Structure formats: C-alpha cells, structure tokens
C-alpha cells in the first residue's frame, strides 16, 4: 500500500505510483529494475535530509504503526487489563500482559487510533487522568510479580480538558512519574511516534529510554511553542519552533536523554511496518535480557543516577 504523502514527499509519492502502475502492467523487467533503484535512491535522499518539522510530520503520519499494530505484529500474546479502579477505561492508554520471544512483560502504550471513530474514542492519543492511573496500577501489578514493563510512548500530550483537570491530570502524572522512578522491576520505554511533554513522561521513566529514528520527544509541541514565541502557529513558525526545540532523536541522544536510536526502514516505519516491528522486537528483547538479571537495588540505583544527572548547569 502506498502511504498518504507528506508535503516533502511529492516526488517520492509520484514515483511510488509509477512503480505500482508498472508492476500492475507487468512492465519491462529492466525498466522495473531501474525505477525501483531510482525510488530507493530518492527515499534515501529524502529521508537523509528531513528537517525537524518533517520529522514531526513523519512521527504523526496517519499510517505509522501504533501500539495496537505492535500488539498484533510484535507480541505473541496480549491479555488486556482495562480497569483503573476509580473512574473508567481510558482508550488512549492500553495496558496488559504480553509475551515476546518467551519473555513475559506488562505492556503499557498510548494508542492514537487509525479510523476517525477510533481516534475519537482514543482522544487522538491524549490520555486522561484515569489512563495514567490505569497505567500505574498495572505497572505495580507487574512489579509485584517481577514482570518487566514495556512502555510504548506515542502521544501529542495529556488531554487538555475540563474533565481532565477536575479529575487531577497534574496529580496523576506526578504520581506516575514519582512511582516509576522507584518501581522495583525493569522498565523499558520507547518513543514510537510522538513524545508529547508530560503526557509522554507520565509513562516514560525507565531503565532504558529509546526512540525510533523518526520519532520526536519534546517539552512542548512545535505548535504550542510557536504560539508562545510568535503568537501564531503557522507554516512559517511551526518549523522554526521544531528547529529550536531540538526534539529529534539525534539531539536527545547527544544530551543523554535517551540511550538508543532504533533505526527505521527506508522511508519511515509507515512504509515497512513489518520490518519496523521486527527491529523493535529485537531491540526490546535485547534490553529486557540485559536488565533481567540486575538485582533490584542496583537497578533502582542506576535508574536514579540516570535521571539525576540530566540537565547541565554551572557551579562555581
């Protein structure tokens, strides 16, 4: 399937279509080979020079694999657990037991939705307080039985609404961050698409934090930043904000905020979702195995030091 084109992909999109036409018509073998070769080169060139704003668009691509896609393709089993024990089931965060490569895990992941109906049900991946309550309660369940936790982060941000404030959005995120810093079981976090501010960090405190190559992770959305700095978020200011915020994986790695960048298939995860799932699976298995035998006190000490040293300052 040819994905919906992004603004910087017009040439790429055209060539993908001509290749599809050629394939459908069983065209000349040499011609096919040439077009495939050219398409590959164009993908490489296009994706080698993504601007930070282009990266944000890739991270938000409607065909980009989401938590539920990975549940289907990457995990061998998923036993969803819905209850937050207080208010209701927030569909913007999915939680449950899962298996991969024989390893039992607790999976916690944002879900943005694919169809309009699903998107509305998931509030476009913007969780409410009950979502963070559910996530934390399942992480504690996992810790009780020494099951490691896998968090897949993909949210524009926690939901900004009246109900969310009435039900303590700040309180629930604050509690989740605090408890995750001490959760006595391995925690592996991956930003698979959008890492939107406190809504992302609410399930983002782990022993390992990684990003897919074209994901972004930021203190504020480029739109929000542009609105504050230049009063309007438009086609000029959003790319400027994305640039200023240094929200791409390479910057986060350099600043020590993430441990790894997980490479995406050529042309982005949305072009080869199966290949993406395989890469992510191998990554998770490796990290889970690395952490499996670390005694809990050491694990917690290292997790503490990991976050404790973030952010440079001068001291005389």
Partner 1 sequence: MSSMSQLDRPSKRGIPEGLWLRCPTCRATVFKKDVESRLNVCPECDHHFPVSARRRLDQLLDENSFEEWDATLKPMDPLGFVDDKPYAQRILDQQKKTGMNDAAVCGAGFIRGRGVVIGITDFAFMAGSMGAVVGEKLSRAAERATEQRRPLIFVSGSGGGARMQEGILSLMQMAKVSAALARYHAAGGLYVCILTHPTMGGVAASWAFQGDVTIAEPKAMIGFAGARTIKNTIRLELPDGFQTSEFLLKHGFVDRVVHRRDIRTEVSRLIDYCDIR
Is there binding between residue 179 and partner 1 (CB under 8 A)?
yes
The pair of structure tokens assigned to 289 is: 């195995």
Q: Please, is 223 exposed, middle or buried when counting C-beta atoms within 10 Å of its C-beta (0-12, 13-18, 19+)?
A: middle
> Is 41 near partner 1 (CB under 8 A)?
no
3-state secondary structure of 287: helix
Rounded to a whole number of angstroms, the minimum distance from the CB of residue 309 to partner 1 is: 8
Q: Based on CB atoms, which residue is closest to partner 1, 74 or 209?
A: 209
CB 157 within 8 A of CB 196: yes
CA–CA gap between residue 111 and residue 99 (Å, rounded): 19
Tokens of 129: 């307080």
Given a contact cutoff of 8 angstroms between Cβ atoms, the answer to whether 127 and 199 are in contact is yes
Total Cβ atoms within 10 A of residue 303: 20
Query: Under the criterion CB under 8 A, does residue 103 sit at the interface with partner 1?
Result: no
CB of 77 to partner 1, least distance (A): 31
Site string for partner 1, 255-294 (x = CB under 8 A): x-x-------------------------------------
d(CA 27, CA 35): 11
- Could you say which of 28, 34, 171, 296 contacts partner 1 (CB under 8 A)? 171
Among 10, 45, 170, 296, binds partner 1 (CB under 8 A): 170
Closest approach of Cβ 159 to partner 1, in Å?
A: 8
Beta bridge partners of 209: 189
161 binds partner 1 (CB under 8 A): yes
53 sits near partner 1 (criterion: CB under 8 A):
no
CA distance 166 to 86: 14
**Is there binding between residue 182 and partner 1 (CB under 8 A)?**
yes
Among 15, 245, 276, 288, binds partner 1 (CB under 8 A): 245
Do 3 and 271 contact (CB within 8 A), yes or no? yes
Q: Phi-psi bin for 113: left (phi > 0), alpha (psi -120 to 50), beta?
A: left
Local structure of 6: helix, strand or coil: coil
Closer CB to partner 1, residue 204 or residue 273? 204
Nearer to partner 1, 113 or 273 (CB): 113
Number of residues interacting with partner 1: please give it, by CB under 8 A: 56
* Least Cβ distance, residue 3 to partner 1 (angstroms): 27
Nearer to partner 1, 78 or 230 (CB): 230
d(CA 153, CA 136): 14
Decide if residue 247 touches partner 1 (CB under 8 A): yes
CA 272 – CA 35 distance, rounded (Å): 19
Task: Select the residue interacting with partner 1 from 7, 102, 295, 311 (CB under 8 A).
Answer: 311
Rule CB under 8 A: which residues touch partner 1?
A: 158-162, 164-171, 173-175, 177-179, 181-182, 197-198, 201-202, 204-205, 217-220, 224-225, 227-230, 244-247, 251-252, 255, 257, 303-304, 307-308, 310-316
């Amino acid at each position: 399937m040819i994905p919906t084109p992004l603004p910087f992909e017009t040439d790429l999109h055209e060539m993908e279509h001509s290749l599809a036409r050629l394939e459908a018509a069983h065209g000349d073998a040499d011609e096919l080979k040439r077009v495939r070769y050219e398409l590959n080169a164009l993908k490489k060139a296009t994706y080698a020079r993504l601007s930070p704003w282009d990266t944000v668009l890739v991270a938000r691509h409607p065909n980009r694999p989401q938590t539920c896609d990975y549940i289907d393709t990457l995990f061998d089993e998923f036993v969803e657990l819905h209850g937050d024990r207080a208010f209701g089931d927030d569909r913007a965060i999915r939680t449950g037991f899962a298996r991969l490569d024989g390893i039992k895990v607790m999976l916690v992941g944002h879900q943005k939705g694919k169809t309009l109906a699903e998107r509305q049900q998931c509030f476009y991946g913007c969780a409410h307080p009950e979502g963070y309550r559910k996530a934390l309660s399942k992480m504690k369940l996992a810790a009780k039985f020494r099951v490691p936790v896998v968090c897949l982060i993909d949210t524009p941000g926690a939901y900004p609404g009246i109900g969310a404030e009435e039900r303590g959005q700040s309180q629930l995120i604050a509690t989740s961050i605090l408890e995750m810093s001490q959760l006595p079981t391995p925690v592996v976090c991956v930003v698979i698409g959008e890492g939107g501010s406190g809504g992302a960090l609410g399930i983002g405190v782990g022993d390992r934090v990684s990003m897919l190559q074209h994901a972004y992770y930021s203190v504020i959305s480029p739109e929000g930043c542009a609105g504050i700095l230049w009063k309007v978020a438009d086609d000029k200011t959003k790319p400027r904000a994305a640039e200023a915020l240094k929200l791409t994986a390479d910057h986060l790695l350099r600043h020590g905020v993430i441990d790894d960048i997980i490479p995406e298939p050529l042309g982005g995860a949305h072009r080869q979702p199966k290949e993406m799932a395989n890469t992510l699976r191998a990554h998770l298995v490796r990290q889970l195995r690395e952490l499996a035998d670390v005694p809990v006190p050491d694990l917690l000490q290292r997790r503490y030091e990991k976050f404790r040293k973030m952010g440079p300052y001068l001291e005389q």
